[in-house]
Structure 1
């Protein structure tokens, strides 16, 4: 009887273990991508017309993105005219100067991977490259996106995300 009681108690207490090890924890790369992403919206008549996520890829993967300043831009808009040529313009503000992009190219769904992916299946993605900034300018960088006829969104990359504790 005593052995049966102890066995029952052990089975009961086995259910009280800490299961934090199996709880959802994002991967290292996903966490870095989230911390390097800023969101902006243009709102007209209390409704979002354009939603944009801008990710500073140099903060996500220093090894792959070190020769220029790279930004992954994810745009969701109800009106497809936003995606026409010359409607979107970008400018990167550094400590003393401002820069226009060296190039902008769309990212197709075939190119999506652990860094390049959209959070919305209807969104369009772009890769924008600027000249490499010095360290102090990187710490004060702001990306400005102007959508002709709609407005301007400024993404502030001047504040840094806390260091990862893995």
Structure 2
């Protein structure tokens, strides 16, 4: 199976898990995180992402796959009333001058950065890879909509508003 196909399947499965989590009713954060880890922390998925990184295609490929993947049957429709998410202002864009994650600190974790810059001419990492003491890895990519990095605090504010209504 190609790296692209491996990543596509993992993304689709993760989307379905998240779609179940946001459905009305009881939510179990721990179970959801464990289900996501079962999908995303599989050796073959990690190897596929690493292959895309070696080819310098990881962020572009993940975004392309996410953009073209059909919504899963349990995904809520994209709400036209969703707030416009403002672009991330330059002063809030994390910078990695050495382009190796050396300036980023997470106690107890190793940090590497990959694929810098993106839509702006700066050293913002487009992938931050975090490894815990047991060797488990997670890759973080900037939140984006329609190919543009957006201010993630707007999403957090929206989630808080939703929780306040419940």
TM beyond 0.5: no
Larger RCO: Structure 1 or Structure 2 (Cα < 8 Å, ≥ 6 residues apart)?
A: 1
Q: Which has the larger radius of gyration?
A: 1
TM-score (structure 1 length as normaliser): 0.30
- Say which structure is richer in strand: 1
- Say which structure is richer in helix: 2
